[in-house]
Amino acid sequence: MVSRVIPVDSFDLVIFGGTGDLARRKILPGLFRRYASGQMPDEGRIIGAARSDMTCDEFRTMVKEAVEEFDPKSAKDTENLEKFLERVFYVAVDAKGDGGWKELGDLLRPDMIRAFYFSVAPSLFGTIAERLKTFELADDDARIVVEKPFGKDLETARALNKSLAEHFHEGQIYRIDHYLGKETVQNLMAVRFGNMLFEPLWNSQYVDHIQITVAETVGVGGRGSYYDTSGAMRDMVQNHLMQLLCLIAMEPPAKFDPDAVRDEKLKVIRALDPVEPHHIVRGQYSASEKCASYREDVENPRSFTESFVAMRCEISNWRWAGTPFYMRTGKRLKARTSEIAVVFKDAPHSIFGAEAGVHRNVLTIRLQPNEGMTLGVTIKEPGPGGMRLVDVPLDMTFAEALGPDAEEVPDAYERLIMDVIRGNQTLFMRGDEVEAAWAWTDPIINGWTNRNDVPKPYDTGSAGPDDALMLMHRDGRRWREIKE
Ligand code: NAD
């Protein structure tokens, strides 16, 4: 099976913050891969816009080095890389002042799709949006792409939405959550809504519980000062984990169109119960022989910010009442892995007797590493040893089906940028969704602040604090092992 590449229409894509970390690591190498695959048309152009004074040639050299550093495999295609660089331009723009805007306008071509990627600090979103209009660079068809974090609470998210809405209508605003661009996340929708097999079982009558785990092995790295004002709840749960929860829990939309999908996700967020304090555990990693502690990493010996959070959530609607959703995420954990596990209930009665043991079907949706899905099915252990049961995985990993092409599955960022050019907002968060997510997380975070809650220490390389294990044990359940 060969995946088809359908070229998008010609475009001018301006990347504000084109010299920054995100642009160099993800956006520019991703665009090069889309060019090399034939999806970015020859008439497509990328214009870096940032504070640094540099020429187009210097920017092209930077882009080349970024591709070589962050995607050495693709960079070997030097012929395409050179052609791609011819489509790259640069203009020095001061987001807060008037310098460079006219020059940027001169570079933009009429009658092309225009997209503006705000890969800059969120404090600049409003001023860039305003200047795009003042300098008449964006009409009602232009698109703007904004990065996370989208606010730090409901109030700031509302203010940000308001400042963007003064210049752009909702249909022009693409709020990125790169988890939504992952192949498996979309595959989850295909599996749920493209098959008869799962949907009848997708409810509290058949599903015992759901686990969502996003585990990292790294610490806060160079982002210490930002992270310490954020923590795992704001940095990961409010956006990525909640988006995954929505896709698992939502009702089938009437159509696969942006607003129909996002309406259903919003209903899930609004149906989430407040989380009781005893249903949530916060942690902070301790020092190990090789690694510093969280507090050392963020250079704040009295920090109460969490680098780990685990919680039990409930969704109050007909489909899910009685089925808990357990979510956890953290840094410096045992392995780097992101997965969703849908754990089905036991068969109501075992005809095979106690010796057969307890077996459960688990549908595992793995986001990284090795994106794919596996369904655990109970079968008879082969051989003459009587009726012993064993769980075997039914592998739905597309690598198997697509063969060598599976390696070419686009990275989340590339897919999302192509969706921006196509004008498809399905995999982007709508303003009301983001606000609803903050409305749910704010009371949890405020509760910690008001109680001076101190996160529990946990060992680097562990599965988080022991209390997180207890959160499940109390319910007679256990977390899945964190492993690659
Ligand atoms: P960065 O600090 O590496 O780069 C910032 C960029 O903004 C630079 O190109 C700089 O020249 C430009 N800039 C700063 N002030 C400017 C001004 N006044 N006028 C014009 N340009 C200006 O930041 P980053 O890590 O690339 O992050 C960019 C955005 O993406 C942030 O909102 C961040 O939260 C978000 N983000 C980053 C990552 C990541 O992995 N780096 C991941 C998710 C989200």
Per-residue pLDDT of 313-367, as tens digits, reads 999 999 999 999 999 999 999 999 999 999 999 988 888 887 777 889 999 999 9
- Rounded to the nearest angstrom, the distance between the alpha carbon of 454 and the centre of ligand 1 is 31
Residue that has been written with the tokens 């807060």 in this structure: 96
Cα angle, residue 234 at apex, residues 230 and 237 outer, rounded to 5°: 145
Pairing of strands 11-16, 45-50: parallel
Q: Give all strands of the β-sheet with 456-458 in edge-to-edge order.
A: 389-395, 372-380, 362-368, 337-344, 207-215, 325-330, 308-313, 280-285, 456-458
CA distances from 316 to 111, 199, 269, 311, 324 (A): 48, 19, 10, 16, 10
Residue 423 in tokens: 């004008």
Residue 155 in tokens: 């109030």
Check if 19 has its Cβ closer than 6 Å to any atom of ligand 1: yes
What residues are paired with 392 via a beta bridge? 377
CA distances from 93 to 32, 48, 99, 255 (A): 23, 9, 6, 41
Burial of 484 (0-12, 13-18, 19+ CB in 10 A): exposed
Query: Can you list the alpha helix ranges (DSSP code H) found in 166-199?
Result: 183-194
pLDDT score at 186 = 87
- Rounded to the nearest angstrom, the distance between the alpha carbon of 315 and the centre of ligand 1 is 36
- The answer to whether residues 329 and 213 touch, using CB atoms and an 8 Å cutoff, is yes
Check if 122 has its Cβ closer than 6 Å to any atom of ligand 1: yes
Q: Is 246 helix (H, G, I), strand (E, B) or coil?
A: helix
- Residuewise pLDDT in 10s, the chain (484 residues): 445 688 899 999 999 999 999 999 999 999 999 999 999 999 999 999 999 999 999 999 999 999 999 999 999 999 999 999 999 999 999 999 999 999 999 999 998 999 999 999 999 999 999 999 999 999 999 999 999 999 999 999 999 999 999 999 999 999 999 999 988 888 899 999 999 999 999 999 999 999 999 999 999 988 889 999 999 999 999 999 999 999 999 999 999 999 999 999 999 999 999 999 999 999 999 999 989 999 999 999 999 999 999 999 999 999 999 999 999 999 999 999 999 999 999 988 888 887 777 889 999 999 988 888 999 999 888 888 778 888 999 987 765 566 555 556 678 899 999 999 999 999 999 999 999 999 999 999 999 999 999 999 999 999 999 999 999 999 999 999 999 8
- The answer to whether residues 128 and 116 touch, using CB atoms and an 8 Å cutoff, is yes
pLDDT score at 2 = 45
Residue 205 in tokens: 């009558």
Residue 280 in tokens: 């949530």
- Rounded to the nearest angstrom, the distance between the alpha carbon of 16 and the centre of ligand 1 is 8
pLDDT score at 359 = 87
Residue 12 in tokens: 């001018």
Beta strands in 38-158 (DSSP E): 45-50, 88-92, 113-118, 143-146
Nearest CA residue ID for atom 7, ligand 1:
17
Check if 223 has its Cβ closer than 6 Å to any atom of ligand 1: no
Cα four-point dihedral sign 481, 482, 483, 484: positive
264-311 tens-digit pLDDT = 999 999 999 999 999 999 999 999 998 999 999 999 999 999 999 999
Nearest CA residue ID for atom 1, ligand 1:
20
- Phi, psi dihedral angles at 239 (to 5 degrees): -110, -75
Check if 96 has its Cβ closer than 6 Å to any atom of ligand 1: yes
- Phi, psi dihedral angles at 327 (to 5 degrees): -125, 145
CA distances from 424 to 173, 261, 428 (A): 11, 12, 9
Q: Is 167 a catalytic residue?
A: no
Check if 51 has its Cβ closer than 6 Å to any atom of ligand 1: yes
Nearest to 323 by CA among 209, 220, 420: 209
Q: Is 330 helix (H, G, I), strand (E, B) or coil?
A: strand
Rounded to whole angstroms, how far apart are CA atoms 388 and 356? 5
Query: What's the one-letter identity of residue 267?
Result: K
Of these residues, 178, 240, 278, 279, which one is catalytic? 240
Cα angle, residue 241 at apex, residues 359 and 170 outer, rounded to 5°: 140
Cα four-point dihedral sign 105, 67, 26, 111: positive
- Rounded to the nearest angstrom, the distance between the alpha carbon of 374 and the centre of ligand 1 is 37
